[in-house]
Structure 1
């Protein structure tokens, strides 16, 4: 086999390995919505307390990202992945002896969230090193792992709960995550043949110059709002369906529908946004994100008005289409707007902001759910968050890349305020 062919297959090995790590680590995180009602009944938790599990899990996932950068620089990508896989597996296995919801906060919320981040983030770093021109397409293929995993895993989790109880189900989920061990070895061997660096650059860890950029901070806030809107849907979708009299298996299938639509759209969207033009039209990734966020808000806003399974499925398909349209664009656009050289720092700061929004939104909305005893409120709130995020994405793009033509008064005013604040800083 020639050296060129060997290098090509090594790249394929890295992509497949990163896909499988995402499949095995992110899949269980996305299936935790199935346990919402279980935690309420078995551990006598309120809606606020049960939603805190997903809130802590997603918040910890993003909060851990800057720590992972430091770990990768000292221990290397492979060791960081192994540590993350071990923490996530241990957390899920310990969950089966949980005496209270507070114990679940630690085992599922903190352990699964932080462990998944430690295992997945180095994979994105390797993919970013190896691929350049087709990076959006490859990132979308890698993120498909969680979408593919969510199709069977949501249904399996409900079947495991019915067959072995929720404790046995979480133990089986821990065994599922443990399968990432040989996959990590497989991926790192491929990365070694591609001559990818196995450690992060220590010089870029603490570069905080982006904190002086108002457009960057607005972009991070928009990402936080967008992620919070998706976390709310992930937390309350299955529980809302159950409150409408839909049985648990059919309700769990809604997450599988989202995964199926995601699988179809992500490769297509990834290919399109990798292009500079389509015919006479210029492909603008920031505008695509804005449109996706508006579609998402429209779909989610319609969800409380769907009171039967068929209606809920239609709305869920529209919501899934918006998620697939957005794909892995937030990370790609981050590099486009603020430069690839600052990507390690910008990713870390963005993750902290996204983590804060993801952790705060479900329990705050859970207070309203407990007070008004309705599962419609989370979707109204989610729609507002995603709509605001979409508008912010477009404003940031217009501020960072002003057109040669005269800009609208609103955009011009916002830009002037940002530039004024930047000068003062």
Structure 2
């Protein structure tokens, strides 16, 4: 019974990420629409996605509190309703500022309540197979991004962008029955609905320098992904690539990542590969360097075939890394105080995710070049790779850790990094 309830929870978490996490990756398709119909500059159009991702992570501390007070089920349900209303209300928007609130704030906050809670739930249930479980669950948004990016462009062409947003809201609404299905499985796995016996929010994490450095590295990693998701479609369109083909680039990333993510999750679940021990921190850093190299070369690919080749390399490294940052976090710091750790880490990531696209948007408006976002994304990935190694050398190499270090450093949990 326990085995099947775990499968039920994993499937439910996957589908939650599919229906509510996937649409977040599809809104790069609306970049040009916002510029044309809402008279938005590149900075203003990018702010929609920037606020969406920023709010997603900034809501982390609130989700920690809500899960403790209301339980996992009601936190997910409330988040889904907020996200659905946000997407549907966006269809009546007459200004980019209104879209900031509906798509940016409502969809971002609602998605965080649903998806982050699911990853926290899975973190409690799975132990030995946690890396593989995280990668499979993170695939949800990648799988849905494959059809949704193309569907969104087709819906725009067929029903206009307002009708398209209504259809997207219907897709998000499908999360409601999935949540009920998942929570039924969690109940059979003896997961408690609330955690009132714990502190609602433990600030002792802020005393751990290594944890804060890890948060900084994670923030740079996510910010680089947000920049690519925000500007890839628009860059392709600026190179004269037809809109459907440009929208399909995100679908290609999703397809390649989907194919390789289970393999990556299985590999990092092993202790050794042949005679070599598996060091997840080093593997993560290498994949980030590969991502950075691919992103850096993207502006030099001016034809569609060249762009596709670079995108495939980028997606392959993204698929291998998968939810590895989440697993590395667990390896280095432990899984205690799950919800508190999630909130602190999410808040730091939110600052980078919200700030990067609009700041680059200012430069794009000034220069008219859509290459700058990719150079910054490559730089962020490289810096993240270095910081991940530094954190491992400071924390992961300590075989005999002192009690005072454990008290401050082992209060970190698993989050939904792949999400992005």
- Please confirm whether the aligned pair reaches a TM-score higher than 0.5, indicating the same fold: yes
Which residue of 2 is the match for residue 265 of structure 1? Answer: 260
* Displacement of 1:210: 2.2
Matches within 5 A, 1:316-335: 316-335=311-330
Q: In the aligned structure 1, how far is the partner of 2:201 from the partner of 2:177?
A: 33
Moved more, 378-387 or 121-130: 121-130
Matches within 5 A, 1:365-376: 365-376=360-371
Matches within 5 A, 1:10-409: 10-201=5-196, 203-402=198-397
TM-score (norm 2): 0.93
Pair 1:75–1:344, CA change in 2 (3 A): closer
The gaps in structure 1 that reach 5 residues or longer are: 1-5, 405-421
* Displacement of 1:332: 1.5
* Runs (4+) off by over 3 Å: none
Q: In the aligned structure 2, how far is the partner of 1:274 from the partner of 1:343?
A: 21
Moved more, 226-235 or 324-333: 324-333
Q: In the aligned structure 2, how far is the partner of 1:201 from the partner of 1:310?
A: 55
Q: Deviations over 1:327-357 (max 9, x none)?
A: 1111211121112114433222111110000
Are the counterparts in 1 of residues 15 and 140 from structure 2 also a CA contact under 8 Å?
A: yes
Pair 1:178–1:403, CA change in 2 (3 A): closer
SS at match of 1:198: coil
Q: In the aligned structure 2, how far is the partner of 1:370 from the partner of 1:114?
A: 28
* Displacement of 1:260: 0.5
Are the counterparts in 1 of residues 120 and 339 from structure 2 also a CA contact under 8 Å?
A: no
* Displacement of 1:201: 4.9
The gaps in structure 2 that reach 5 residues or longer are: 400-408, 410-420
User: RMSD of aligned C-alpha atoms?
Assistant: 1.5
Pair 1:205–1:331, CA change in 2 (3 A): farther
Q: In the aligned structure 2, how far is the partner of 1:71 from the partner of 1:16?
A: 23
Which residue of 1 is the match for residue 406 of structure 2? Answer: none
SS at match of 2:336: helix
* Displacement of 1:206: 2.0
Q: In the aligned structure 2, how far is the partner of 1:153 from the partner of 1:339?
A: 36
Are the counterparts in 2 of residues 58 and 359 from structure 1 also a CA contact under 8 Å?
A: yes
| Count of residues in correspondence between the two structures | 401
